[in-house]
């Protein structure tokens, strides 16, 4: 089982917490970190900027499709950023992650 991190941007801390809890309750992620960020991007033909929160969710590759499906319903953005990152984990953390996501 391959470990991944899923990077997800959110418009506010309460929404980031809601999405984290949603994914945890469904055992799609084992844990998540929430960070405040400042983003700049193209939107409707102009450069925009916004304060956002990013989730870094620790999970397994086999859970990624279900996470994307859940976020299609749970995420408020019309085009959310849901990025999969391959990671190498220390043995103990990887074992814990796999146990939590059985």
Rounded-to-integer distance, Cα 5 and Cα 12, Å = 20
How large is the average pLDDT for residues 66-89?
95
The domains found in the chain, sorted by start residue, are 3-100 (3.30.70.120)
Tens digit of each residue's pLDDT (9 = 90 or more) over 40-72 = 999 999 999 999 999 999 999 999 999 999 999
Predicted structure pTM score: 0.94
pLDDT at residue number 89: 96
Residues 13 and 52 sit within 8 Å (Cβ to Cβ): no
What integer best gives the mean pLDDT of the chain?
96
Rounded-to-integer distance, Cα 11 and Cα 1, Å = 32
pLDDT at residue number 102: 86
pLDDT at residue number 1: 81
* Extended beta strands in the chain, E state: 3-10, 31-43, 46-60, 82-86
């Amino acid at each position: 089982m391959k470990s991944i991190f899923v990077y997800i941007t959110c418009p506010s801390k309460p929404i980031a917490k809601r999405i984290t809890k949603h994914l945890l309750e469904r055992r799609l992620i084992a844990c998540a970190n929430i960070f405040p960020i400042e983003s700049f991007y193209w939107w409707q033909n102009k450069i925009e900027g916004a304060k956002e929160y990013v989730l870094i969710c620790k999970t397994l590759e086999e859970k990624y499709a279900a996470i994307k499906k859940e976020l299609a319903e749970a995420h408020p953005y019309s085009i959310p950023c849901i990025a999969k990152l391959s990671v190498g984990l220390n043995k103990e953390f990887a074992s814990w992650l796999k146990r939590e996501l059985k």
